[in-house]
Structure 1
Amino acid sequence: MLTNQQTVRTALLEALPLALAIAAYGLSYGVLATQAHWSLWSTILMSLLVFSGSVQLVIVAMFISGAALPSMLITAVLLNLRNLLYGAALADNLAPASRKYRWLLAFGVSDESFVLGNIRYQKYGADPLYFGVVAGTFYSAWVVASYIGAYLGDLIDPVRWGLDLAFPITFVALLIPALTQKPIIATAITALGMASLLHHMMPNSEFNLILTGIIAPLVGLYIARRSHHG
């Protein structure tokens, strides 16, 4: 059994590589928001309140294309529906925490924290402290990087520096070791198949990301629940 101090240290060390990739992604968001003529503080406020890279980047792209506010809000809600599925899958992992603390942890649920939290749960059982440190690290990296990207603005070219690739490459590297569990394998295969099919049917449509982000986790959750009760 690890002490709290050891758990915090382990969580920080395991979160750091992905936090750096998240920071690179956050820089890209900050730069793009500035190019869309968002103010510094509106850019940062969105990171503080939303904390979702995919949602924020899609919203910026929709804003640039002239989309209406209701469309952007609906898109944000649909994209974040997968976090409800993540939360359901993480329920046992976070169960030992108090109700107030679970509300706080729920805000930190994301693709990245879910993967690390799930791997930890499979190895050592429920550990809300570990998940909280991981989520807090990712949140801090995202907000700080968003500020830096927005502050520097046009001084950074995300594509030239490869910042747009840092997150997906690191996330895939993190995901590969977890592909020993049936629910995660099912989610990954479903996401890959749906993304390929939808891109062929609707090239460059933001709805590809929305549909894939909703259906793929649903498949994984179904497999997990069936395995648990079977």
Structure 2
Amino acid sequence: MQSFVLARWRHPEFRRGAREMLGITLGISAWGLVTGVAMVKSGLSAGLALLMSLIVFAGSSQLAALPLIASGAPLWVLWATAFCVNLRFVIFSAQWRLYIGHLPLWQRLRFGYFAADLNYVAFMRRFPAPEQEREQQLPYYWGGVCLNWAAWQIPSVAGIFLADRVPTEWGLGFAGVLALLGLTYSLLSDRKSWISAGVAACAAVAAYALPLRLNIVVAIAAAVAVGLLMDHRLPDASRSNKEAA
């Protein structure tokens, strides 16, 4: 990986990708620190927490799974929750396929491991069409994801090893919520995403009494259903408006 990065870091698009991710790394780092502390506070050993951070590399599903692990939830609930939380990546991958479908499998697997929400947003903003500047796409991607990975893993590892020294009274849970809200806000780019987020919030509150934090699963299912419904309905409406104009 190191030689791969060194071969690309001199490319202007590599630096541009890192530069455009720089503004949001503070929120990512705060989120990573909170997750590192939370993993140990939830009962995981430092070794298991480190393994989870490096292998899973998915903050939202990690935070969703931790209270379930602490409460002794069945394994199927853990899997279902993590699957639902990361379901958005199935949608992302359908779009990524247009850009990297021609690459060998091992390269696509490596690409998929480092892919994250905000990298997807930045990349699609930079390259809205798959055929646009193809030789620039991968350097830009790796510049962004390398910075994103480091901004997550370094604070997460620090949180793991410093968890025993971090008092609970510091309110890191609230800090994590703020970090998540900041990252979520950056993803709300149009009316569809705002409506889906609102439906998810209402569903999570309405189903709060469900055991094993299943209100999270309900919220995600509701948001996905509303998003799919709008994808089928709103394009037709916008097309009708254009024809009427």
TM-score, normalised with respect to structure 2? 0.74
Distance in 2 between residues matched to 1:224 and 1:144, nearest whole Å: 42
What per-residue deviation string (whole Å, max 9, x for no partner) do you get for residues 89-127 of structure 1? 222233465543222112223222221122122289352
Q: Is the 8 A contact 1:29 1:56 kept in 2?
A: yes
Distance in 2 between residues matched to 1:44 and 1:218, nearest whole Å: 36
Q: 1:79 aligns with which of 70, 76, 85?
A: 85
SS in 1 for 2:66: helix
Q: Is the 8 A contact 1:24 1:163 kept in 2?
A: yes
Q: What is residue 155 of structure 1 aligned with on the other side?
A: 165
Q: What is residue 146 of structure 1 aligned with on the other side?
A: 156
Shift of 1:147: 0.8
SS in 2 for 1:122: coil
Q: What is residue 186 of structure 1 aligned with on the other side?
A: 192
Q: Could you tell me which amino acid in structure 2 is paired with residue 170 of structure 1? A: G
Alignment of 1:40-51 (within 5 A): 40-51=46-57
Alignment of 1:96-111 (within 5 A): 97-111=103-117
Cα 1:17–1:212 change in 2 (3 A) is farther
Q: What is residue 182 of structure 1 aligned with on the other side?
A: none
Q: 1:175 aligns with which of 187, 197, 220?
A: 187
TM-score, normalised with respect to structure 1? 0.78
Larger gyration radius, structure 1 or structure 2: 2
Answering whether residue 137 of structure 2 is matched by residue 131 of structure 1, we say: no
Distance in 2 between residues matched to 1:65 and 1:161, nearest whole Å: 17
Long gaps (5+) in structure 2: 1-8, 239-245
Answering whether residue 81 of structure 2 is matched by residue 69 of structure 1, we say: no
Cα 1:90–1:213 change in 2 (3 A) is farther
Distance in 2 between residues matched to 1:37 and 1:198, nearest whole Å: 25
Shift of 1:22: 1.2
Q: Could you tell me which amino acid in structure 1 is paired with residue 50 of structure 2? A: I
What per-residue deviation string (whole Å, max 9, x for no partner) do you get for residues 146-169 of structure 1? 110011104335635953144334
Q: 2:39 aligns with which of 33, 44, 68?
A: 33
Q: What is residue 54 of structure 1 aligned with on the other side?
A: 60
Q: What is residue 23 of structure 1 aligned with on the other side?
A: 29
Shift of 1:130: 1.6
Q: What is residue 6 of structure 2 aligned with on the other side?
A: none
Q: What is residue 243 of structure 2 aligned with on the other side?
A: none
Distance in 2 between residues matched to 1:4 and 1:94, nearest whole Å: 22
Shift of 1:25: 0.7
SS in 1 for 2:72: coil
Q: 2:17 aligns with which of 11, 14, 25?
A: 11
Distance in 2 between residues matched to 1:140 and 1:221, nearest whole Å: 35
What per-residue deviation string (whole Å, max 9, x for no partner) do you get for residues 9-58 of structure 1? 11111112222211111111111111122111111111111111111011
Q: 2:96 aligns with which of 76, 84, 90?
A: 90
What per-residue deviation string (whole Å, max 9, x for no partner) do you get for residues 59-93 of structure 1? 11111222122321232223222211111122223
Q: Could you tell me which amino acid in structure 2 is paired with residue 138 of structure 1? A: N
Q: Is the 8 A contact 1:195 1:209 kept in 2?
A: yes
Shift of 1:194: 3.2
Distance in 2 between residues matched to 1:139 and 1:45, nearest whole Å: 15
Q: What is residue 206 of structure 1 aligned with on the other side?
A: 216
Q: What is residue 195 of structure 1 aligned with on the other side?
A: 201
Distance in 2 between residues matched to 1:225 and 1:93, nearest whole Å: 24
SS in 2 for 1:187: helix
Distance in 2 between residues matched to 1:51 and 1:12, nearest whole Å: 19
The alignment's C-alpha RMSD in Å is 3.2
